[in-house]
Amino acid sequence: MSPWIIYWIGTIDRVICTAQVIMGLVIAVMIIAGALVILDSNDMEDFRDSLKAGRAYLLGLLLFLGCFTCVGTFCPSGKTLAAMYVVPAIVNNEDLRQDSREVYHLAVDFLKGQLKQEHPEEPTAP
């Protein structure tokens, strides 16, 4: 596993949060600009043209919002990425499996030694 994957797994949540803040600001600016386009008319003919432009603008805003929502929904979190990349890499690593077996046997031997020290065998009565 490359160091870049590990780096992005750790930072993906901050990237998603930053993107959400930026997109929220973009959407707010688009709503304000759309309202200004509709309200900036002097007579009825301008109002009709502004309303048509506003509808097209609103359609673009809805498409943008829909795309943003889909990307935000389906972008995996850092925990999901870790489960997808890091956990299988650790589980499938043969060196770690061998080391864990050795550590297990050392722990069992240590515990048996501790039990023998705390509870020495008493001589049996004849």
| Cα gap 122→126, rounded to integer Å | 12
In this predicted structure, what is the pLDDT of residue 122? 61
Distance of CA 78 to the CA centre of its chain: 4
Q: What is the mean pLDDT of the segment spanning 83-105?
A: 81
pLDDT in tens, 107-126: 888 888 888 887 776 655 55
The encoded tokens of residue 32 equal 């304000």
For the chain, domain boundaries = 1-75, 78-118
Which SS3 state, helix, strand or coil, does residue 8 take? Answer: helix
Element (H, E) at 67: helix 44-74
Closest CA to 58 of 80, 37, 86: 37
Residue 59 has pLDDT above 70, yes or no: yes
Comparing CA positions, the residue from 18, 22, 5 lying closest to residue 84 is 5
Contact 30, 64 (CB under 8 A): yes
For residue 74, give both structure tokens: 């389906």
* pLDDT > 70 in the chain, percent: 87
Q: What per-residue confidence (pLDDT) applies to 98? A: 79
pTM above 0.75, yes or no: no
Where residue 26 falls (left for φ over 0; alpha for ψ -120 to 50; beta otherwise) is alpha
